Amino acid sequence: MPRAGDSALIIPVPSAAPLLARVAEAFPAAVREGDVGHVTMLYPFTTTTPEELAAVAAGLEPIDVVLDRVVREPGFVALTADALAPLTAQVRRHWSEIVPYGGKFGPAPEAHLTLAMGVTEQEGDAIAGMASPVPARLDQLWLLAYTDTWQITARCPFGG
C-alpha cells in the first residue's frame, strides 16, 4: 500500500481501460479506483527535477507493444510483453540506485500492466481468463505523487 509522500514513475496505457473496466465490473475490489491502465517503471520513486524527467523522456522512442502475456502470482494478475524489457531497462538505468518495489519482487522485476491485486486464487484464475491482448502506444512518462490518492505531477512525452 502506498504511503503519503510516495511517488511512482509510470507509462500510461489508456487502451487498457476497457479491459480494466470489465475486470472491475466483475471484481470491484480487484482494480484500484480510477486506474485506466499503466505500466509502472519505478515505485517507490525518488525525487527528481522536472527538467531531468523531461530529458529522460525526450531520449526515449515511442513504441507500440501488445501486452499479451498473463502473469499470475498469488493474489495478483497482470499482462506484460517481452517488448517492454528494453524500454524498462533504459528508463531504470537513469535511476539505478532504486530497486523497484523495494526489492520485494527481486532486483529487476518485469514491467507489467496490473489487472488485479488482492484477489483469491479462484478470482485470479477468472480474471486471467478474462484477459485479452492490449495493444498500446507507449509514448509518455508520468510522475505520480501520493497523498490520500495518486495525483499526476508531471507528464513528459517521449522525444524519439
In a domain, 86, yes or no: yes
In a domain, 128, yes or no: yes
In a domain, 33, yes or no: yes
With a pLDDT cut of 70, the percent of the chain lying above it is 99
| pTM assigned to the model | 0.93
pLDDT band for position 47 (50/70/90)?
confident
3-state secondary structure at position 131: coil
- Residues 77 and 70: beta-carbon distance below 8 Å: yes
In a domain, 107, yes or no: yes
In a domain, 1, yes or no: no
CATH at residue 65: 3.90.1140.10
In a domain, 68, yes or no: yes
Total structural domains within the chain: 1
In a domain, 2, yes or no: no
pLDDT in tens, 74-129: 999 999 999 999 999 999 999 999 999 888 888 889 999 999 999 999 999 999 99
**Residue 114 lies in domain:** 7-155
pLDDT of res. 148: 87
Of 34-48, 77-91, 135-149, the range with the lowest mean pLDDT is 34-48
pLDDT of res. 134: 98
DSSP annotation string for 76-110: EEEEE-TTHHHHHHHHHHTTTTPPGGGGBTBSSPP
Residue 160 has pLDDT above 70, yes or no: no
- Residues 43 and 86: beta-carbon distance below 8 Å: no
In a domain, 160, yes or no: no
